[in-house]
Amino acid sequence: MSHIAFIGLGNMGAPMAQNLLKAGHTLTVFDLQQAAIDKAVAAGARAAASAAAALTGAEVVISMLPASQHVESLYLGEQGLIARIAPGTLVIDCSTISPASARKVADAAAARGLDMIDAPVSGGVGGAVAGTLTFIVGGQAQALDRARPLLAQMGKNIFHAGGSGAGQTAKICNNMLLGILMAGTAEALALGVANGLDPAVLSDIMSKSSGRNWAIELYNPFPGVMPNVPAANGYAGGFGVDLMLKDLGLAAEAAMSTRASIPLGEMARNLYSMHSQHGAGGLDFSSILQLVQKR
C-alpha cells in the first residue's frame, strides 16, 4: 500500500481518491474548496492545509485539476511542487491539459530525477465512481510500470500512447470526437422530438441502428430518457461545458501547430462556445441539447 498526496477533488478527483482509499492506500488531500476536502476526510483521507503540505511522507503524487494553467502553477509556480517533491516520488497528472504543458512539467520533473507521467482519463464521472476509467498515458514505460497498480485501482483500461505529452494528444483527439458526437446526438434527438417522436423511443431506435454511439447509449442528453446521467439532474455534475470548450481549444491548437484540418472539431468548438456565452459554462456538456432544442 502507498501513501499518496492527492490534489484536486472535483467531479473526477473525488471519486478517484475514494477508490484509492477503498483499495487500502492512505491519502493526504488538498483542494481549493474546503467542502471538497471535508468530503474526502469523511471518506477516510487526511486533510492538508496546502498542496505542499500534502507532500509529507508521500510516495506518490496524483493531481486532477481543470486545465494547463492550474497544473503548471501547481508544479512550477511560486510554491511549485516539483522543487519540493522528495527524490524517488512518482508523479501522476490525470488532468486534461495541453501536450506542451505536460512536457514542460515532465521535463522539470525529469531534471530533478522524478518519474512523471501524464495520465488523462476517459469514462466520465460514472467511470470514476465505478473505477472503470480508461487511462491514456504519456511518459517513460518504466514510470508507467510503477503507476500501473494504482491506475488499475481507478480504471480498467490502461494505454501507453508514447512519450511525455502523448497521453494528452490522444485524449484531445478522443474528446474532440466526443464533443462532435454529443452535439450531433443532441441535434438528431431534437429534430425527432420537434417532428413528434418520443425521445426515449428514438434513443432506443438509434442505439440499435447505425447512429449508435457513447452519448446516445450511456450519456443521453435528453432529460427523462435515462436515469443517473446529468440530463436527469438538470445537467448538474458531469463534464462541464467549459471543460469541453477547453479540450476543443486544445484540439484547435494541435491542429494549427501541424496545419491539420478539423472542420467538425471547429464547428463543435463554436457551438460549445455559444452555449457557454449563454450562461451554460458550468452545466454538463450534454446540455448542448438546449442550444438546438425547439423552444
Give the active site residues.
Answer: 171
> How many C-beta atoms lie closer than 10 Å to residue 201's C-beta?
11
Kindly provide the residue ranges of all beta strands, DSSP E only, lying in 45-154, ordered along the sequence.
46-47, 60-63, 90-93, 115-118, 121-122, 133-138
Q: Residue 193 or 214: which CB sits closer to ligand NAD?
A: 214
Nearest C-alpha neighbor of 127 from the set 199, 229, 249, 222: 229
Q: Under the phi-then-psi rule, with left for phi > 0, alpha for psi from -120 to 50, and beta for the rest, what region is 279?
A: left
Using CB atoms, what's the residue nearest to ligand NAD?
10
30, β-bridge pairs:
7
Contact call for residues 171 and 136 (beta carbons, < 8 A):
yes
Rounded to the nearest whole angstrom, what is the least distance from the CB of residue 150 to ligand NAD in the complex?
Answer: 17
Rounded to the nearest angstrom, the gap between the alpha carbon of residue 162 and the centroid of all alpha carbons in its chain is 19
Rounded to the nearest whole angstrom, what is the least distance from the CB of residue 70 to ligand NAD in the complex?
Answer: 4
Q: Residue 141 or 236: which CB sits closer to ligand NAD?
A: 236
Q: Residue 192 or 238: which CB sits closer to ligand NAD?
A: 238
Rounded to the nearest whole angstrom, what is the least distance from the CB of residue 180 to ligand NAD in the complex?
Answer: 16
Nearest C-alpha neighbor of 6 from the set 131, 99, 94: 94
Rounded to the nearest whole angstrom, what is the least distance from the CB of residue 120 to ligand NAD in the complex?
Answer: 6
What residue ranges bind ligand NAD (CB under 6 A)?
7-13, 30-33, 36, 51, 64-66, 70, 74, 95-96, 121-122, 124-125, 238-239, 243
Q: Alpha-carbon distance 93 to 84, whole Å?
A: 16
Q: Residue 89 or 192: which CB sits closer to ligand NAD?
A: 89
